[in-house]
A and B are shown apart, each in its own frame.
Chain A
Amino acid sequence: MSNLLDVEDLSVTFPTRSGEFEAVRGISFSLGRERLGIVGESGSGKSMTGRAVLGLIRPPGRVTATRMTMNGEDLRAASPRRMRAIRGKHISMIMQDPKYSLNPVMTVGRQITEALRTHEKVSQREAKARAIEMLDAVAIREPERVMRLYPHEVSGGMGQRIMIAMMLIPNPEILIADEPTSALDVSVQLQVLEIMDKLVRDRGMGLIFISHDLTLVSGFCDRVAVMYAGRIVEVCDAGRLHEAQHPYTRGLLNSVPDLEHPRDRLEALKRDPDWRSAPSVSALL
């Protein structure tokens, strides 16, 4: 079986006053029906990777790759019209903060049914029924009532579950979750993750989970790619993260406090300039 996504030598560049800025510098990865974690600090290029796959980098930003295919279809050659059909229907994305990523002047119901009706010819009545079903699937109580609410009337955890419902209703095969729990209270983070995980598993989807939280990713994903300065510095199975070799990954792991083995002093990360120029590690399958 072919991969859901194959990306080779992907670069994202933005022109700035002081020359070109390369947010992503030639990374390669594939995604099967698995959960791939992309970890890195702010500005490491992990969000840009997700957006580049969706074709959401807008000029003057530039995306180049020697290969970018979804189910064997070349995304680089896809027309804007075809890209729109792919977005939502085949690849979808959940963003960080539902406070900003939901339209404040549109009801929850309209935003969800709109996502469905963009890709499927269904009646308003059927779209509504399926939206309610979907809200139910993300464990929202009284979905009929929630359909009529505006985003400012729901909590953050609820907003993110609504976002999941909205992005999964057209049945995409690939979900990119860009820091989906960073803006949420710790108490609801797990609940949202579990709901997302269950839906992704049940539907046999591929998930790209972008996060800066190494522990979270290692507990949640199958494979982890560690990004630094626009490149992938290390790839490993999530279960074997403790065996990671790269000094950056080790540094990140060492700077995480551990409740069971408390240390007097957490190590600060010492960055080696060589990491920046080291070649990107391939995360192809």
Chain B
Amino acid sequence: MGDATLGKGRPAPLLARWPRKALSLVVTVAVTLLGLLFVTFMIGRVMPIDPVLAVIGERATQAQYEAAYQALGLDRPLLVQFFSYVGEVLQGDFGRSLRTGQPVAQDIARVFPATLELATLGTLIGVSIGVPLGVLAAVYRGSWIDQIARILGLVGYSMPIFWLGLMGLLLFYGILGWVSGPGRLGVFYQGLVPTRTGLLLVDSAIAGDWTVFRDAFSHIILPASILGYFSLAYISRMTRSFMLEQLSSEYVTTARVKGLSEWHVVWRHAFRNISVQLITVIALSYANLLEGSVLTEIIFAWPGLGNYITTSLLANDMNAVLGGTVVIGTIFVCLNILSDILYRVFDPRAK
């Protein structure tokens, strides 16, 4: 639809091309997701874990074993098993978790909002500081602000997250007491607001319960800041190099010749030209936080997806691991497509 508004000059051919583009997009996504399912399924099957034993326990008789083996459908050819798995996944059925005894889909629906909330806040922090910092570092290249950005970036790249997380807890929770400790919410506040989105900040805001909001915020702010710091390190470095490239281009000189202020030259001219590249970087970094916050979630006892998958893996609960992996992979693919679509909307040349 964005195409149609951009191509004011000649809308007809663009409109005519649109359904074909959408169709090819759908096919691409379907093939990618099928490949993802295939890989995760095969990894699940070659793991040295006997799914039958995991279900019936080690003391079962041979006859019980045979029965369970057939009931799980493991006697069928691998390809048949795969397609029946695909069929089940398409209906939202990831099987039942051995550890929690509940359908994996239900488990994920419960834990995913915690990860989403953490990663979203982390990305917001990373973008809102990282982008301006990168722009300033490029504009005042070689100055003290560039050096600070460089050091922040270097530390962010090289510091292990678990160490930073533990030190953060020690300082801000243990010594200073500015923030709350591990978990999403203090025990007194649990279950006070109805679950609508699963995002505690949003739910408590909807319910208008600001004491719960404040408690949830004081729990999330430290892990989110630490994740945000890592995305800041990446985003600010990328922003800086994109901006340096743009600032040395001719149209920036043109803008200066016109007598525009530096603020205008930097933000209205140069920055607009990097917004497309930035979208990709931010989407990648967001996807990274969604899938890669396992260590943070464990240190902060955050009941999120990363924590769920890790615990399930250690408990030999393959259904849960596969389900979680598929969800994360799907998110990754979707974010990539989203950045691709935004690319077309923001860049008039990408038609």
Check: A76 CB closer than 8 A to any chain B CB: no
Q: Please, which residues of chain B bring their CB within 8 A of the CB of A101?
A: 250-251, 253-254
Encode B308-351 as 1/0 by CB contact (under 8 A) with A: 00000000000000000000000000000000000000111100
Contact with B along A137-167 (1 / 0, CB 8 A): 0000000010011101100000000010011
B347: chain A residues at CB < 8 Å are 105
Chain A residues closer than 8 Å to B260, beta-carbon distance: 84, 88, 114, 118
- How many residues belonging to A are interface residues under a CB distance threshold of 8 Å? 34
B209 → chain A, closest Cβ, in Å?
Answer: 44
Asked if B261 is at the interface of the complex by the 8 Å CB criterion, the answer is: yes
Which residue from chain A places its CB closest to the CB of B273 in the assembled complex?
A: A105
Cα of A269 to Cα of B250 in the assembled complex, Å: 32
Chain B interface bracket (under 10, 10 to 19, 20 to 34, 35 or more): 20 to 34
Chain A positions within 8 Å of B, measured between CB atoms, are 54, 56, 84-89, 92-93, 95-97, 100-106, 114-115, 118-119, 145, 148-150, 152-153, 163, 166-167, 170
Shortest distance in angstroms between A14's beta carbon and chain B's nearest beta carbon? 14
CB closest chain-B residue, reference A88: B259
Residues on the B chain within 8 Å of A88, using CB? 257-260
Q: Is B9 an interface residue (CB 8 A)?
A: yes
Whether A103 lies near B348 (C-beta < 8 A) is: no
Tell me if B9 and A84 are in contact (CB < 8 A).
Answer: no
Q: B254–A95 contact, CB under 8 A? A: yes
A152 touches B273 (CB 8 A): no
Q: Residues of B contacting A84 with CB < 8 Å? A: 259-261
Q: How far is the CB of A75 from chain B (nearest CB, A)?
A: 14
Q: How far is the CA of A115 from the CA of B259 in the complex (A)?
A: 8
In the assembled complex, the Cα of A170 lies from the Cα of B255 at a distance in Å of 14
Question: Which residues of chain B are near A104, meaning CB under 8 Å?
Answer: 251, 273, 348-349
Contact indicator A95/B250 (Cβ below 8 Å):
yes
B249 at the interface (CB under 8 A from A): yes
Residue pair B253, A95 in contact (C-beta under 8 Å):
yes
Can you list, as one digit per residue, whether each of B202-215 has a CB less than 8 Å from chain A (1) or not (0)?
00000000000000
A146 to chain B, nearest CB (A): 9
The reply to whether the CB of B269 lies closer than 8 angstroms to some CB of chain A is yes
Residue B8 is within 8 A (CB to CB) of chain A in the complex: yes
**Does B250 lie within 8 Å of A97, measured CB to CB?**
yes
In the bound assembly, the distance between CA atoms of A153 and B220 in angstroms comes to: 48
A-B contact count (CB 8 A): 75
Q: How far is the CB of A221 from chain B (nearest CB, A)?
A: 21
- CB contacts (< 8 Å) of A106 on chain B: these are 269, 272
B251, A87: Cβ atoms under 8 Å? no
Query: Which B positions have Cβ atoms within 8 angstroms of A?
Result: 8-9, 249-251, 253-261, 269, 272-273, 346-349
What are the residues of chain A within 8 A of B253 when measuring CB–CB? 56, 95, 101
**Distance, CA A119 to CA B9, complexed state (A):** 30
Cα distance, A119 to B261, chains bound together (Å): 11
Q: Across the interface, do A56 and B259 meet the contact criterion of CB distance under 8 Å? A: no
- B259's partner among A87, A96, A148 (CB-CB below 8 A) is A87
- For this complex, 16 residue pairs linking A to B, each with C-beta atoms less than 8 Å apart, are A56-B253, A56-B257, A87-B258, A88-B259, A89-B259, A92-B257, A95-B250, A101-B250, A101-B254, A103-B272, A104-B273, A104-B349, A105-B273, A119-B259, A148-B9, A149-B9
Which 4 residue pairs of A and B lie closest in terms of their CB atoms, listed nearest first? A88-B259, A100-B250, A87-B259, A150-B348
The one of B255, B257, B269, B272 in contact with A54, judged by C-beta atoms closer than 8 angstroms, is B257
Rounded to whole angstroms, the CA-CA distance of A97 and B250 in the bound complex is 9
User: Closest CB-CB distance, A122 to chain B, in whole Å?
Assistant: 15
Q: In the complex, what distance in Å separates the CA atom of A14 from the CA atom of B260?
A: 25
Within the complex, the shortest CB–CB distance from B175 to chain A, in Å, comes to: 45
